[in-house]
A and B are shown apart, each in its own frame.
Chain A
């Protein structure tokens, strides 16, 4: 029998530090971003308890009230409490942001992995479709989808809106996933899997996708910020969420433009909410990228 090659050193590997604690230590800005995101999540989940007013309740007695004790962020032209609407708006923003980013990235990752793994004609076909999709401005592509599909609400979420926002994400993620896949397909363990007679499905799902989780996570967080922005833009243009549902983009649009001089808080606070959310997701995404990229690790 051959020799047993274990060393005392291999058994006494240094204990790995807790990755969460490491992340906190190395990426304080990312943690800051994460905390803001958590704040939004708390708002979205606990809106009922946090918001002092019903976000859709019209109160003509308190029209255009200034920010103060009564209404923290003031009220709009219908007397609706801006703070409550922002808190409830976090629901729409996060639901649309997270869902569309995850759908878009997951589909994109699958397409990209298949494209890189199969190569040849399949790769060519997928990449040309991706090229065409990338040649449209994001907002135009999303607008077309919303205009064509209309609205389909279920569970309080407009699924067609999510599809519209996810669609422009797919080709971008597919590109990234393809390039990561190409470097993984060149690795001998993929050849080993092929030599073992595994199915294409198994190789893609079990051997390629887990190895592109790092770029996937980075793209998901980065696109969450973009999706929130896109949802706000679509709502602003009247194509996304419709009145009276509270949504940040909607609060900026339409009539609020008429009041920016008399009641600036009507656009100031929702705008700040959007900016802060985008900022937080970007911060977190950036530090996640640095954290997951071993080359950038000291």
Chain B
């Protein structure tokens, strides 16, 4: 795969405050005006009110973000604008005016002409939104020939132009390739090119970068922002990532349980939100620019079921400031110029919320330098064989390459890196779900890398795992009680009669109720399921828990709850965590030490605060620069060094320092030898000859 793709933007910084752009945009009339839009789904269980009374406008050249947790109606509202919802089951009311034309009354033929020509949509999954059996060229030229009546030659020329515009190198060749020959980031660029093909006035992007790594995410969003400014395209971006919103959006709409709760310019919403949900959301995100001293503020509870939502303000059951009046539906009213909020107590909020701001300070277990490591990984490698054809040699994917790390008792070691860097494989090696190709893994002094299956059983009781996906990490055919009890039964940890009591105890420990033991996983919410996964891991009284992206699949407010739970448990039970994640802010918050992995190798390793305050390796620096901070004021002054290119194939890694093709500091020497880890500070080894 191509790995010297250059971002078309390089390190351009937008110094111009977005507010000016928004004001400038107001002069013209809005491209999209949504007024009192409601969407209902009729299901066998009743009517789901997915969107209620949504109103907002988008002006040319403006980037408007719709923020909310899963199920808040943000995607459904976008699909309703495009009229892409199934007509049989979805009931749409209200008004959607595009360029002054009402879309909801148009007949299907008229609407079809608007879709793809005037309004384009980009979806989350670049793997599945391109047709795998058609060449890229055909997929880009298709809208051109359909909507603009171009002939094939003209369309092809335009396709080359578009691919160049979105920063795809060697566009002529790409046109004859199939989607599987491109990387995820490349595919998303192609999707944007298709979206822009007919010079649309409005681009709706539904979680366009959620499936991508931070460095690629930054490349794609910079591109979209730049295109929006240069071509005057209005962009609606739907996301759950507040950092992205702070960095790129001019205006923000916050949705909660099908309704808009807050709307305004990014500066105003992030600066001083009025709605308690928006405030809670902003304080629940772990931040890259904050240390790990404070406990995360959380929003208690979970979003309501839209089949039977609470009356009045939807946020009322979770709101700390709810009063009797909140039984009525609060209108979305201006709280100040260009800033709307749907809360009766919006003007008191600044005063009320003061009490909540001095959040509890969590007692964090510091790095205890003297203690012997509980987990000692020495020179561990894992190569996966990839068989070629009958006559070609077997090649190896070097998933983990000569990794040395140690974790002390009571510590949390954060392992970060982009997808494919080998961090999950390393976790699986420690758990012995895979066998290492070389090296030793010492757990409490015993080398477990070479233990036999039978001998491993004793170790497994002391080492447990929590997985990313709370949907597939629990056996759907077992009840919660059976799931938690099973390890205790199998390993005879407790006499049989006591097990039920222990299950109840564990459920309470992770913040669930004992009666939930009788439920099946599908009857619980995502956050609750993740808690069940934690309870299962705790059932054998482990010393070490490997958390493999344990909070990545959860919504922001739930993520905060689970992180706090993990920290509480660590404190209470003296647990040691190996915390594998791609979200740098989460890692910073929870870890005492952090190791950065790139293409199977550790490139930098340091105590958490030291690493984030003083990153040495150019890759670490690039990762930190690419991760957005949910604060528009900080974001607009931050220098932006966008890392170029993509992760090379681990099947054929670059010579010498594996990072050299993407590194701004790379010299000829970097290509020659693998840089050793050098101590550049107390307990801060870095694998770079220029650092």
Partner-B contacts on A (CB < 8 A): 1-10, 12-14, 17, 187-189, 191-199, 202, 206-207, 210-211, 213
Contact = CB atoms under 8 A, between A and B. Distances in A.
B89 to A, nearest CB: 9
B304 A7 contact: yes
A194 B472 contact: no
Given A191-B465, A196-B540, A207-B475, A4 B486 contact: no
Given A8-B317, A211-B476, A188 B510 contact: no
Interface in B5-52: 44-46
Nearest to B310: A8
B433 A189 contact: no
Given A3-B511, A8-B304, A195 B431 contact: yes
A197 B531 contact: no
B527 A5 contact: yes
B662 to A, nearest CB: 31
Interface in B438-490: 456-457, 460-461, 463-465, 467-469, 472-478, 486-487, 490
A197 B457 contact: yes
A4 to B, nearest CB: 5
A9 B305 contact: yes
Interface of B: 44-46, 298, 300-305, 307-308, 310, 317, 428, 431, 433, 456-457, 460-461, 463-465, 467-469, 472-478, 486-487, 490-491, 510-513, 523-525, 527-528, 531, 533, 536, 540, 558, 561, 564-565, 568
A1 B568 contact: yes
Contacts of A8: 304, 310, 317
B670 to A, nearest CB: 37
B301 A7 contact: yes
A17 B45 CA distance: 10
B285 to A, nearest CB: 16
Given A7-B303, A198-B490, A189 B474 contact: yes
Contact of A9 (B46, B304, B490): B304
Contacts of A14: 45-46, 307
B301 A195 contact: no
A197 B558 CA distance: 30
Nearest to A6: B513
B465 A195 contact: yes
B473 A192 contact: yes
Contacts of B477: 210-211, 213
Contacts of B540: 196
A192 B472 CA distance: 10
B561 A5 contact: yes
A10 B460 contact: no
Most buried by A among B474, B475, B478, B536: B475
Nearest to B567: A2
Contacts of A6: 301-302, 512-513, 528
Contacts of B510: 2
7 contacts: A3-B301, A5-B527, A9-B305, A14-B46, A197-B456, A210-B475, A213-B477
A195 B531 CA distance: 18
Contacts of A12: 305, 308
